[in-house]
Amino acid sequence: MSTRIEQIGKLGQSVWCDTISRSLIDSGELQRLIDAGIVGMTSNPTIFQKAITSSDDYDAAIEKLVARGDDAEAVYEHLTVTDIGDAADLLRPVYDRTDGLDGYVSLEVSPLLAHDTDKTVDEARRLFARLGRPNVFIKVPATEAGIPAVETLIGEGINVNVTLIFSLEMYAKVMEAYIRGVERLAAGGGDVGKVASVASFFVSRVDGAVDKKLQARIDAGAAELKDLLGRAAVGNAKLAYQRYKQVFHGERFAALSAKGARVQRPLWASTSTKNPSYPDTLYVDTLIGPETVNTMPLNTIEAAQDHGHVADAIERDLIVYENALTRIEAAGVSMDEITDTLLAAGVKSFSDSFEDLMADIVRKMALVRTG
């Protein structure tokens, strides 16, 4: 009997795991997840910060790196590249079996470079070359500086996971950057069938921000807005999927597809339910559909396996959600303002995690030096 994760896969959605750690790899848990139907992994600076600072799994490696004279940045990169590389090797059979559709692991460029195009490109090139595996994505944030970096990297045949997408406007820019990159790759004689990309559209954080503003209006007497709670995030994602279909099943991309180019699949990220009054599989059950990815933290994978509702749902109730978003705007809650704020907060959160992690690595290195 197939697992629910495998059943989701049969509907055209790939389920990835949104976490990574040394213990997950060494314990065999990652292999067990793969055996259960997980076909990819994602990471971010916050995930690595938790993995490295909340355990002693990396202490022996840090001790060896200190002994050979590495500085904190070199230690950080060694630890993360090792984890990403080992995970990619475990997922390589998936990559081969699916002809490069799945089997990927993502490593993010430093979030401190989020507003610097040239340095983002340089670091992405270096990390991709150092990992030396075809089933690795380099994550680049969907900032104004990140968009041209995406085009350049795709044009050089470097796989990119475009992260921190919240708004439909920015999503349009992300898709355009990917297509322009593929066109550049084709014009330069590159193999467009060898480069891959996903567009990571963040979900649950949208509800957190919109619901807060709606609840303030409800508390002030606008009881008619109650049915809009928990609608914004799913509605935003459903509309993004419509934009995806228009672009990647349209005439312009058809010419590239004929040359073997892959579509840039939308990836639903931040899919754990933050509001305990909502179902814990809310951002799984409502967003299943073909040519998509859902990357889930371990607790959401467990919930989906246990009691998720498996059905093609991405285009279900589309009009209902479109009307909900229209009413949200009419209530004075601007989705543009919400998504702009969430992007800035996302970049800051990852930057803070990165700096906290570097500080902790420095502390661990100092402890090693003093015995």
**Residues annotated catalytic, as ranges:** 139
Q: What is the C-alpha radius of gyration for the chain, rounded to an integer number of angstroms? A: 21
For residues 111 and 345, what is the distance between their CA atoms, to the nearest angstrom?
Answer: 12
For residues 293 and 94, what is the distance between their CA atoms, to the nearest angstrom?
Answer: 15
DSSP calls for 24-81: HHHTSHHHHHHHTT---B---HHHHHHHHHS-STTHHHHHHHHHTT--HHHHHHHHHH
Which SS3 state, helix, strand or coil, does residue 197 take? strand
Is the Cα dihedral 206, 211, 217, 220 positive or negative? negative
For 6-41, b/e burial (b = at least 16 CB within 10 A) is bbbbeeebbbbbbbbbbebbeeeebeebbeebbbbb
CB 275 within 8 A of CB 207: yes
For residues 42 and 62, what is the distance between their CA atoms, to the nearest angstrom?
Answer: 23
For residues 106 and 159, what is the distance between their CA atoms, to the nearest angstrom?
Answer: 9
Which SS3 state, helix, strand or coil, does residue 15 take? strand
